[in-house]
Amino acid sequence: MIEIKHLKKYFKDVKAVDDISFTVTAGQLFAFLGLNGAGKSTTINIICHALLPDSGEVYVDGLSIDHDMPAIYPKLGVVFQNSVLDPKLSVYNNLFTRAALYGLTKAQFKTNLQFLAEKLDFANLLQRPLDKLSGGQKRRIDIARALIHQPQLLILDEPTTGLDPQTRILVWDLVSELRRTRQMTVLLTTHYMEEAAEADHVVIIDNGRIVASDTPNNLKNQYANDFIKLYDYDAGLLKEITKAKLTHTVDKGVVTITFDDMTQVKQFLVTHANQIRDFEAIKGRMDNVFLNVTGKQLQGGSNG
């Protein structure tokens, strides 16, 4: 659905996008991770033709952004970081205007609006001006605007930052349903690691360059440690852990031990099975992956 080859975009001395290449397969949830300024939004703006690249090639569904944008636009739905809706228009008129730009008939608009209003829970907001809505309500309308014409490719640029848990669940339930029923492709940038952990493929970009690319599980296996948390255990076990020089911490009686992989976790549990009564084995997390790959902490959300 997306193919990017040797893409570059410089702003004077700043290499915003510095020779990146990747492919997004149709139907995938593809996560694009990086700190603010890493090059994510620049790449998205190039895909949408809001920015022109300095060099490289970008294809959407086999069509070139250099020559085929009129055919690409109907395939795209984009949720930008900031709203692009008219704050003085009602929710209904905002969505009707966007639908008209895509050439939807009144019947198509009515059907699509009814579906989205139900899924995103905004049927009671249709006649309210956008500037009278809460932040979470506005975000739901932004997402509805991106989906009103049933795009094949949905680009989500930090769509759930600052949203309450209920709204985030509504958004992701809808995205999951559309991927399942319509094979919609999703390109996601996010600061929430549990969202990235659900992706089919993750690319991490740092200073304009791709520094890691793989499935979440493979990235965790390569870059993140696994853990055991011991909640109820024999008193002598902590002395054995210390004597074995296992990396560990103790907080309010809970012992957290770090291992290289799950094989070591299993070996430890088998060896000390008679000394452990309550424990939790934890697979490496995406925030650990990001930190180990870039040396930086990605702020936002919980682990994943």
Question: Which of 29-43, 131-145, 152-166, 216-230 shows the lowest mean pLDDT across its residues?
Answer: 152-166
Q: Is residue 303 part of a domain?
A: no
Contact 304, 285 (CB under 8 A): yes
* 51 & 134 share domain: yes
* 49 & 80 share domain: yes
* 133 & 210 share domain: yes
Q: How confident is the model over 150-165, as pLDDT tens digits?
A: 999 999 988 877 778 8
Domain end: 173, 194, 214, which one? 214
Give the domain extent around 207: 2-214
How far is the C-alpha of 37 from the C-alpha of 42, rounded, in Å?
9
Residue 303 has pLDDT above 80, yes or no: no
Domain end: 190, 214, 238, which one? 214
**Residues ≥6 apart with Cβ < 8 Å to 22:** 2, 4, 203, 210, 213
Number of domains in the chain: 2
* 10 & 116 share domain: yes
pLDDT score of 109? 96
Question: Which of 103-112, 250-259, 277-286, 288-297 shows the lowest mean pLDDT across its residues?
Answer: 288-297
Q: Check which CATH number belongs to the domain holding 38 and give it.
A: 3.40.50.300
Q: Is residue 190 part of a domain?
A: yes
Q: Tell me the Ramachandran region of residue 59: left when phi exceeds 0, alpha when psi lies from -120 to 50, beta otherwise.
A: beta
* 8 & 131 share domain: yes
According to DSSP, the residues that pair with 271 across neighbouring strands are none
Q: Is residue 118 part of a domain?
A: yes
* 122 & 255 share domain: no
Q: Is residue 88 part of a domain?
A: yes
CA proximity to 301, closest of 291, 287, 290 = 287
Residue 172 has pLDDT above 50, yes or no: yes
* 144 & 182 share domain: yes
Q: How confident is the model over 52-79, as pLDDT tens digits?
A: 999 999 999 999 999 999 999 999 999 9
Confidence band of 298 (pLDDT split at 50, 70, 90): low
* 168 & 290 share domain: no
Q: Is residue 302 part of a domain?
A: no
pLDDT score of 301? 44
How far is the C-alpha of 69 from the C-alpha of 9, rounded, in Å?
19
* 22 & 163 share domain: yes
* 24 & 166 share domain: yes
* 166 & 284 share domain: no
Confidence band of 299 (pLDDT split at 50, 70, 90): low
Q: Is residue 98 part of a domain?
A: yes
pLDDT score of 122? 95
Q: Check which CATH number belongs to the domain holding 235 and give it.
A: 3.30.70
CB atoms within 10 A of CB 130: 20
Confidence band of 14 (pLDDT split at 50, 70, 90): very high
Domain end: 184, 214, 244, which one? 214
How much is the average pLDDT of 197-211?
94
Q: Is residue 124 part of a domain?
A: yes
Q: What is the DSSP letter of 148?
A: T
Q: Is residue 220 part of a domain?
A: no
How much is the average pLDDT of 225-237?
94
Q: How confident is the model over 94-151, as pLDDT tens digits?
A: 999 999 999 999 999 999 999 999 999 999 999 999 999 988 899 999 999 999 999 9
* 20 & 141 share domain: yes
Average pLDDT, the chain: 92
